[in-house]
C-alpha cells in the first residue's frame, strides 16, 4: 500500500494482526484449517480488495503482491495451532489491532486520494479499508458485524480519514503526517477500549 | 446516475428512501449510531456500487459524488432519532420505496446499456441496482434477504428493466420513456403490495 | 471463459451444476421462485464475477454473455419444479459438481494468468472462481459457508490451481494440460467424497 520498506513492514504487521482476528473467529466457529485460513485472509485483505476495486487498481494488491496473502495465511495458521495460548497475549493482540486500524485507514485514505477520488469518497474508502475485513470476517462466521453494534472503532477510522484528507488538502506530504495520524487513531482506539466508550443506540 | 437536475433530485430521493429502510432495519437490530448509518449507506448505495464496478465506472458514484453518501447518512440519522414516529408514516415510506425501486431500476439499466453491456446483462444489472441495497441491508443485519423470500419486488424490477431495454433498442431516447417505465414499475409494485401478490414457492 | 466451443459446453455444464446446487439450497430455505433463481445465479456466477472484477474484465462474463445467466436461470427453474425427484439423482449431481470444481478452477486460474496476475494471486483467484459461488449461496441462505467447515473441497481447487500455474510457467499451453488438471481435480474430489476425507479442526 506504500512504497517505503518501513511502511511495508508496518502494512504486513497490520495484515498479520487482522488475519489473526479473523482466524480466531474461525477457530471459535469450529471451522477446519482451510476455513480458518480463508477467514483470516478475508479479514486481513477484504477491506483492501474492496478499496482497490473501487479505485480501479486491478488486480488488487492482495492478488498482485504475494507477500500480502502469504502473511495472512501464515498468521492464520499460527492462530490455528497456538490459539490456546493466545488468551494470555490478548492485550497484545488488541494493541496490534489498534495499530492496524490506524495504519490501514491512513494508507487506504491516501491511496484513494492519490487515485483521484474526491475528499468525501476518499474518507469513506479509507474507513472501509480498515473495517471491511472485520465485516467480511463476521459475515463469513454468521454474525452481525461487531463494528456495527458496539465500541468506538469505525468512528475512529472515519475521524482519522478526515484528518488525513484535511492534511493532504492543506499540502502536507511525506510520511510524517501519515504516521502521526495513524498513531493518533491508535491512541484514541486504545483509550476507547480502556474507558469502554461506545456509540449511542436508538431509543426503543 | 443521470445528468438532469430534476433526475438528480429524484435519484437522491431514492437514496434517502433506501437509506431509511436500511437504517430502520439497523435500529430494530439495536445497532449503534454508526451501525445504523452504515447499514443505511449500504442499503442506499450498495446496488449502485456493484453496478458501477461491473461496468468499470470507478470510483463508483457513491464515492465520486459527495451528495450521494451525505444524503444516505442524513436520512439514516433522521431515522435513528425519529423512528418512534415513523410507524405513523409507514404508508409514505412504502410509497417512496416503490418510487425508489422504479427509479433505481431505470437509471441502472440505462447506465449499463450506455456502458455497452449487452441487453441481458443490462437487465440483470438494472435489477441488481434496485435490489442490491436491500440484499446488503439484510445480510448485514443477519437475515435471509426478504427480496428472495416473499413479495413481488425483484420481479417488478426485472420486468421494468426488460421494458426499458426494449424501448432503448427500438430507439426511444430522452427522459420520457425512462420516467414512464419508472412510474409503471412504481404502480405495479404498489398494486402488488395492495393485493398481496407473491411469487410461488416450490412444492415440499 | 475459454474460446473453444467444446470448452464453452463444459463451462456451461459447470454453470448449470453450480446453479442447481444454489437452487437446491434456496428450495430448502423455502425461497420463492425468484429467490431460487437468484441464489442459483449467484452460486453459478458469483465466483466468476469476483474474478472478472479483480482482473479488470468488465463487464464480467455473467453480464457480457447471455448464455451464462440464461443457463443458470434455466437450471435453477428445473430444480424448482423437479426437486422432489432430485434425491434419486444425487450421485449424479455430486459427480457434476466435482466436474464443475475442476473446470472452474482451471479456467479461472488461466484467465488470471493471461490477465497478468502473478502466480500466487492467480492461484487464489482460480480457487475463488470455484468456491466463490458456494460462498455466495451459503451467505444468501443464512449459513456459515460449508466450504469453510468441512470436506476437502477448496483445498482440491487450490492444489489444482497451483498445478496449472506450474504447468503454465513451464510453458505447457493448449487445452491438454487444462483438461488433465481439471480431470485430476475432479478425481481427487470424488475420492475425498468417497473416503470422507476432511481437513483438521483446531484443538479445543
Read off the pLDDT of residues B167-178 as tens digits, 9 standing for 90 and up.
998 887 777 778
Mean pLDDT computed over every residue of chain B: 87
Distance CA B77, CA B70 (A): 11
Mean pLDDT computed over every residue of chain A: 87
pLDDT at residue B198 in the model:
75
Distance CA C86, CA C74 (A): 15
The strand pairing partners of C32, in sequence order, are B201
Distance CA B16, CA B44 (A): 7
The strand pairing partners of B32, in sequence order, are A201
Read off the pLDDT band of C2 (50, 70, 90): very low
From A36-50, A134-148, A166-180, C10-24, the region with the lowest mean pLDDT: A166-180
**DSSP code string of B34-103:** HHHHHHHHHHHHHHHHHHHHHTT-SS-HHHH-THHHHHHHHHHHHHHHHHHHHGGGHHHHHHHHHHHHHH
Burial of B128 (0-12, 13-18, 19+ CB in 10 A): buried
Q: pLDDT of C87-120, one tens digit each?
A: 666 777 778 788 889 989 998 999 999 999 999 9
Chain A partners of B49 at a C-beta cutoff of 8 Å?
54
Measured between CB atoms, does B34 come within 8 Å of chain A? yes
pLDDT at residue C89 in the model:
65
Q: pLDDT of B33-92, one tens digit each?
A: 999 999 999 999 999 999 999 999 989 999 999 999 999 999 999 999 887 766 666 777
Measured between CB atoms, does B184 come within 8 Å of chain C? no
Distance from CA of C52 to the nearest CA of A (A): 10
CA distances from C118 to B58, C77, C114 (A): 23, 39, 10
Read off the pLDDT band of A171 (50, 70, 90): confident
Read off the pLDDT band of B6 (50, 70, 90): low
Residue C10 DSSP SS3: helix
Distance CA C194, CA C91 (A): 11
Read off the pLDDT band of C1 (50, 70, 90): very low
Read off the pLDDT band of B100 (50, 70, 90): confident
Read off the pLDDT band of B2 (50, 70, 90): very low
Residues 101-120 of A with CB under 8 A from C: none
From A149-153, B26-30, C152-156, the region with the lowest mean pLDDT: A149-153
**pTM higher than 0.80, yes or no?**
yes
Q: At what angle do helices C154-169 and C119-140 cross, to 10 degrees?
A: 150
pLDDT at residue A201 in the model:
78
Give C88-145 as a 3 state SS string.
HHHHHHHHHHHHHHHHHHHHHHHHHHHCCCCHHHHHHHHHHHHHHHHHHHHHHCCCCC
Domain ranges of chain A: 5-195
Out of A140-149, B110-119, C173-182, the most confident range is: B110-119
Residue C172 DSSP SS3: coil
Backbone angles phi, psi at A11, to 5 degrees: -60, -45
Residues 49-108 of A with CB under 8 A from C: 49, 53, 56, 58-60, 62-66, 69-70, 80-81, 83-84
pLDDT at residue B1 in the model:
41
Q: pLDDT of A104-140, one tens digit each?
A: 999 899 999 999 999 999 999 999 999 999 899 999 9
Kindly compute the dihedral angle of the four CA atoms of residues A20, B49, A166, A136, in this order, to the nearest 10 degrees: -10
Name residues whose C-beta falls within 8 Å of residue C143's C-beta, 6 or more positions apart in sequence.
A142, C25
CA distances from A79 to A27, A98, A100, C146, C154 (A): 8, 18, 17, 21, 20
Read off the pLDDT band of A196 (50, 70, 90): confident
Distance CA C157, CA A64 (A): 20
Chain C partners of A34 at a C-beta cutoff of 8 Å?
147-148, 154-155, 199
CA distances from A84 to A22, A105, A137, B48, B131 (A): 16, 30, 20, 44, 43
Is the per-residue pLDDT at B98 higher than 90?
A: no
Residue of B nearest to C30 (CA): B201
Chain B partners of A120 at a C-beta cutoff of 8 Å?
63, 66, 69-70
Measured between CB atoms, does A141 come within 8 Å of chain C? yes
**A148·B35 Cβ contact <8 A:** yes
- Residue A178 has which C-alpha cell? 501519515
Cell 448485514 found at: B140
Distance CA C127, CA C129 (A): 5
Measured between CB atoms, does B198 come within 8 Å of chain C? yes
Name residues whose C-beta falls within 8 Å of residue C126's C-beta, 6 or more positions apart in sequence.
C51, C105, C106, C108, C109, C110, C112, C157, C160, C161, C164, C165
Is the per-residue pLDDT at A86 higher than 70?
A: no
Is the per-residue pLDDT at B201 higher than 90?
A: no
Q: Partners for C (CB, 8 Å, 3+ pairs)?
A: A, B
Is the per-residue pLDDT at A2 higher than 50?
A: no
Mean pLDDT computed over every residue of chain C: 87
**A54·B33 Cβ contact <8 A:** no
Measured between CB atoms, does B29 come within 8 Å of chain A? yes
Measured between CB atoms, does C22 come within 8 Å of chain B? no
Q: pLDDT of A39-85, one tens digit each?
A: 999 999 999 999 999 999 989 999 999 999 999 999 999 999 887 76
Rounded to an integer, the average pLDDT of B130-150 is 88
Is the per-residue pLDDT at A157 higher than 60?
A: yes
**C143·A142 Cβ contact <8 A:** yes
**B33·A198 Cβ contact <8 A:** no
- How many other CB atoms are there within 10 angstroms of residue B148's CB atom? 26
From A26-30, B180-184, C7-11, the region with the lowest mean pLDDT: C7-11
Using CB atoms, which residue from B33, B58, B62 is nearest to A200?
B33
**C118·A66 Cβ contact <8 A:** yes
Amino acid at each position: 500500500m506504500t512504497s517505503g520498506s518501513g511502511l511495508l513492514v508496518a502494512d504486513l504487521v497490520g495484515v498479520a494482526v487482522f488475519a489473526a482476528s479473523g482466524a480466531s473467529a474461525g477457530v471459535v466457529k469450529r471451522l477446519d484449517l482451510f476455513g480458518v485460513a480463508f477467514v483470516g485472509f478475508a479479514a486481513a485483505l477484504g477491506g483492501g480488495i474492496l478499496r482497490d476495486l473501487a479505485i480501479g487498481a486491478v488486480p488488487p494488491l492482495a492478488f498482485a503482491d504475494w507477500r500480502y496473502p502469504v502473511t495472512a495465511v501464515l498468521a492464520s495458521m499460527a492462530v490455528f495451532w497456538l490459539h490456546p495460548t493466545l488468551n494470555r497475549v490478548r492485550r497484545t493482540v488488541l494493541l496490534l489491532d489498534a495499530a492496524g486500524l490506524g495504519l490501514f485507514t491512513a494508507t487506504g485514505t491516501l491511496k484513494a486520494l492519490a487515485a483521484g477520488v474526491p475528499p468525501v469518497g476518499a474518507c469513506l474508502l479509507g474507513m472501509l479499508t480498515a473495517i471491511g475485513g472485520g465485516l467480511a470476517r463476521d459475515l463469513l462466521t454468521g454474525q452481525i458485524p461487531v463494528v456495527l453494534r458496539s465500541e468506538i472503532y469505525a468512528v475512529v477510522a472515519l475521524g482519522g480519514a478526515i484528518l488525513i484528507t484535511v492534511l493532504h488538502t492543506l499540502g502536507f506530504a511525506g510520511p510524517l503526517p501519515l504516521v502521526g495520524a495513524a498513531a493518533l487513531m491508535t491512541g484514541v482506539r486504545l483509550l476507547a477500549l480502556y474507558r469502554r466508550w461506545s456509540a449511542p443506540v436508538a431509543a426503543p
